[in-house]
Amino acid sequence: MFGTHLRSGSSVGTPSTPRQGSSSHQQQLVKTATPSDQPNSSSDSSSATPTTNLEGISEKNLNDYQQILQILLAAGYFRVRISTLTPFDKILGGLCWCISNSYNADADVEMLSYEEEANIGKKIKLSEKVVLALRRMGCPQELSPVQIQGLDCPFILKVFSWLVQKVFESRVENKERIQRYSELQFSRRYELPQDQKDMEQYNQALPYLDSIRGIYHPKRKFKHQQRNVLKSEWGHVQTVLLEYGIEFKKIERSQQEKEDKSKLERQLRAQKQASRTESMDASQLNNQNLAELDLDEEAREKKIQELKKLVEQNENFYNNISASGASNLINLGAVDIIKLKEEYDEKTRDFMGQQENLQSEQMLHKRQVAQLTKQIENQKVIYMKAKEEFNAVKQEYEKASETLSKFKEYNEQVQNKITELQTQVQNQEVDQTILSKLETLIALNEAFKKQEADFKTNCQLQLQELKNSISQLELSFNDSNDPIVQLSQAYANDTEKMKKIRKLAAKRNRELAIIQSKIDEIPSRTELSQYERRFTELYAQISTKLDETKKYFVSYNTLSSTCTFLEQEVSLLNSIADFFQKAVQSQDKKYKAWMINTVSDRVEKVKQTKTQMDTKLKDTEKKRDDLQNKYNELVSKQRNYFRAVKEFQNEMLKNEELNKRLKMLQQQ
């Protein structure tokens, strides 16, 4: 909002810097900036309308022109009170101001860089761009640049009435938007008493709501102490239902369901038996599995022999029926025939059931064979991995022993050198350089001894760890069915996972703390706006102080230069007076000629200094004009900056509104 406040009073018609001679112009600018001159109503604005320059305004258009000025004053464009501005400048500046202050204005960048001191060509181009902007805004009145240049006040009055209405609408929209934004900011940081009461009532009613919600939730009344003892799935389901106070009667199952249940139980037993065999060695597994396979084959052969006997009995029965028993069946009664039929049906059912059991046992046998072969392959893979790890550890141990032998050899060499140096020191006097080398070698020897001891301890620790790992692997191959070992392994794995997760969580927390500190270091929008205001105030104070000091320096330099020139003038006049008195008193003609020559020389010097000062004055005036042009360019850039800031603020407001709508849609 900073740029908007800067432009609210003088967005388009910002006056250029007045020159030193125009004191009346400065007084008029000060008068227009005072709040007492601002109109409070339409009647006050009409009474406060100044009698300005009416160049180019006819008597017919005078009333419309006065109405245009009154409308601009009522809208807040107070530059129409400046009497030195022409009607064309006031109308064009008012159009630019209204377009730039309307909410949805699609004006060009040069709309905000209006200058009264611009030439007529720039003003005509600006009027053409004003017409284009009005077309983009959808103005119902088709204004042309010729009408602006010709001051067609009746038609321009209609355009101004529409533009001022747009300005007021944009102000109302900005007011509502700012009010909503202020209410939002207030609600984020503060709370009203009514809101606090509502929150307290909600907190008081929350337990009651939770109790109502939890009425129909299932609640556990009992707890089974030996749940692991339950074997059947139906028993587990029934115990869980009884724990929650629900009774459920068991339904009688059919013969087919019982057979399915028996099949499932056989499969579960086979799977349990397969899981038990996973922890055995490869050789034991092979022997045990082969023995079990032999037993299964013997049982299966027995069942096959029994089934063959049943088939032979059935065939004999059929043969008896077909050959000799046909006449007996004819002679039998109906009751005997029904009994024989029932016996036949029972035998066929038994035969079919045994055949199905045989097929299921064959399938189960195949599955067991496949599972056992798979387990054997897995155990072989595990054995090969353990063997590879053992070989790798063995290689590392050999490398470590080689490095240890190298360190020992190097240590022996160093000790030999030390003994040689000791003998040399005992036999003859040695220089300080040799002694320093000796000290360094001794220090190296001690360091190598320490490294050797550390290396030995480290190797021993690694060897012990490797032995422990090998023993653990052997134990895991032999006793992996122990539930205590499995639980300890699972607990160790879970603890390692928990440590890793805690480390990751600590790392993430540190990263979050660093990011939070960085975010806290970044100032907020309000702080930035405060910094901006303070910097602008400091800049204004510094610039005013700098201008004041520059004025003091300039005044001092001018006064010192005038003082020197006056002193030179006084000395010149005194010398001329002395020469004149002496020339009048003396009768020598040569002295008079010398006096005339000296006076003429001094006059020439004065003329030369005058020309130098004139050139200096021209240079300073040229510099002043260049600086004035640069100042005008900077003022235009400032206006462009203000316009960009306003557009940026409008876009930010739109972005906030869209974010609010998006949040509302997401909540819905």
- Report how far residue 22's alpha carbon sits from residue 32's, in angstroms, rounded to the nearest whole number: 16
pLDDT of residue 318: 46
Measured CA to CA in angstroms, residue 54 lies from 58, 85, 119, 156, 397 at distances of 8, 10, 20, 16, 109
Closest CA to 134 of 104, 173, 174: 104
The pLDDT tens digits for 276-288 are: 544 444 444 444 4
Q: What is the DSSP letter of 229?
A: G
| 154: CB partners within 8 A, 6+ apart | 61, 64
pLDDT of residue 628: 92
Widest distance between CA atoms in the chain: 203
| Residue 110: per-residue pLDDT | 44
Express as a percent the part of the chain with pLDDT over 70. Answer: 69
Q: What is the overall mean pLDDT for the chain?
A: 73
CA gyration radius, the chain: 56
- Rounded Cα distance, 88 and 25, in Å: 19
Mean pLDDT of 170-179: 86
Q: Check residue 117 and report its DSSP letter.
A: T
CA dist 10 and 13 (Å) reads: 6
Give the pLDDT band (50/70/90) at residue 42: very low
DSSP class of residue 227 equals G
Q: Is 578's pLDDT higher than 50?
A: yes
Residue 632 is predicted with a pLDDT of: 92
pLDDT tier for residue 653 given thresholds of 50, 70 and 90:
very high
* Residue 595, pLDDT score: 76
Q: By mean pLDDT, which of 41-45, 111-115, 433-437, 478-482 is the weakest?
A: 41-45
Reduce the secondary structure of 57-88 to three states and give it as a string: CCCCCHHHHHHHHHHHHHHCCHHHHCCCCCHH
Look at residue 462 and tell me whether its pLDDT is greater than 90: no
Report the distance separating Cα 48 and Cα 354, nearest Å: 120
Give the pLDDT band (50/70/90) at residue 336: low
Contact 414, 443 (CB under 8 A): no
pLDDT of 433: 74
Which DSSP category does 253 fall into?
A: P
CB proximity list for 9: less than 8 A, separation 6 or greater: 33, 76, 78
308: pLDDT strictly greater than 60:
no
What is the model's pLDDT at position 327?
A: 46
Q: Provide the pLDDT for residue 54.
A: 64
CA count, 13 A, side-chain hemisphere, 155: 14
pLDDT tens-digit series, residues 369-406: 888 888 888 888 888 888 888 888 888 888 888 888 88
> Is residue 306 very low, low, confident or very high in pLDDT (cuts 50, 70, 90)?
low
The 10 Å Cβ neighbour count of residue 163 is 25
Tokens 């007084």 sit on residue: 27
pLDDT band at 233 (very low <50, low <70, confident <90, very high): confident
The helix (H) or strand (E) run that includes residue 144 is: none
What is the average per-residue pLDDT within 565-583?
A: 81
Q: How far apart are CA 186 and CA 527, in angstroms?
A: 17
pLDDT for residue 24 is more than 60: no
Residue 642, pLDDT above cutoff 80: yes
**pLDDT category of residue 185 using cuts at 50, 70 and 90:** confident
Helix (H) or strand (E) holding 247: none
Would you give the DSSP letter of residue 280? S
Residue 485: band (very low, low, confident or very high) from pLDDT cuts 50, 70, 90: low
What pLDDT shows up at residue 32?
34
- The angle, 0 to 180 degrees and rounded to 10, between the axes of the packed helices 153-189 and 62-75 is 10
Indicate the pLDDT class of residue 159, thresholds 50, 70 and 90. Answer: confident
Among 75-79, 172-176, 217-221, 321-325, name the one with the lowest average pLDDT. Answer: 321-325
**What's the burial of 126, exposed, middle or buried (CB within 10 Å: 0-12/13-18/19+)?**
buried
- Pairs from 315-322 (Cβ < 8 Å, separation ≥ 24): 317/344
Q: For the segment 594-612, what is each residue's pLDDT rounded down to a tens digit?
A: 777 877 888 888 888 889 8
Q: Which of 100-114, 119-133, 240-254, 401-415 has the lowest mean pLDDT?
A: 100-114
Which pLDDT does position 26 carry in this prediction?
33
- pLDDT given for residue 481 in this prediction: 57
**18: confidence class by pLDDT, cuts 50, 70, 90:** very low
What amino acid is encoded at 550 in this protein? K
Would you say 136 and 121 are in contact if contact means Cβ atoms under 8 Å apart? no
Q: What is the mean pLDDT of residues 3-17?
A: 35
Domain parsing of the chain, residue ranges? 2-189, 218-249, 255-481, 525-667
Given a cut of 80, whether residue 539 has pLDDT beyond it is yes
Is the dihedral angle over the CA atoms 587, 593, 594, 599 positive or is it negative? positive
All residues at 6 or more sequence positions from 508 whose CB lies less than 8 Å from its CB, including other chains: none
